[in-house]
Amino acid sequence: MRYLESPHFNTRPNLEAIDLIVLHAISLPDGVFEQAYIDDLFMGKLDISAHPSFTGLQDMCVSSHFVVNRNGHITQFVACQKRAWHAGESSWKRRKNCNDYAIGIEMIGDEKRPFTHEQYTETARLCRVLMEHYPNITKDRIVGHQDIAPSRKWDPGKQWDWQRFHRSRAHIRKLDLEVR
């Protein structure tokens, strides 16, 4: 696992217990599955002149704890005990501000193409490791961005096969990931 420390994080308020994982999908620009622009966005270094669609991202401060690329390689951007800025205005089970108590995992993808076998496997493995570290995270506390912000977000979308993901998570045996 690769670690890049994003400047876009802060302390979780009131020592909130971590008890939720939010799965996201991201591609920059839309439909392009390279990781370099995503790294730059989360590191606060995105050159908005690199693509016309980036102009709306100027001065945007966003991050996620993890990114899982199309080959299943994982990059961690924010330590789990810190508050990453991935969920925006959100709520889960009437509890607002999911960034306060959630871990965000971005998977490189869009709403048009299926996610890869490697992404299912490695996202499932990462979730199992996180569930071991944070026992309040249960199967029903792994949700999509569309579940916590339904009026404004679509991801990871209808192309994310939740049954396949949960089967992968249940069958993972090797938990050798070290998260910060």
Residue 144 in contact with residue 160, Cβ under 8 Å? yes
Residue 63 in contact with residue 77, Cβ under 8 Å? yes
132 catalytic residue (yes or no): no
Kind and range of the H or E run holding 96: strand 95-96
Indicate the pairing of strand 142-144 with strand 20-26: parallel
d(CA 18, CA 22): 11
How many helices (H) does the chain have, and how many strands (E)? 4, 10
Which listed residue (5, 106, 122, 178) is catalytic?
106
- Tokens for 116? 């890869």
| Catalytic center residues | 106
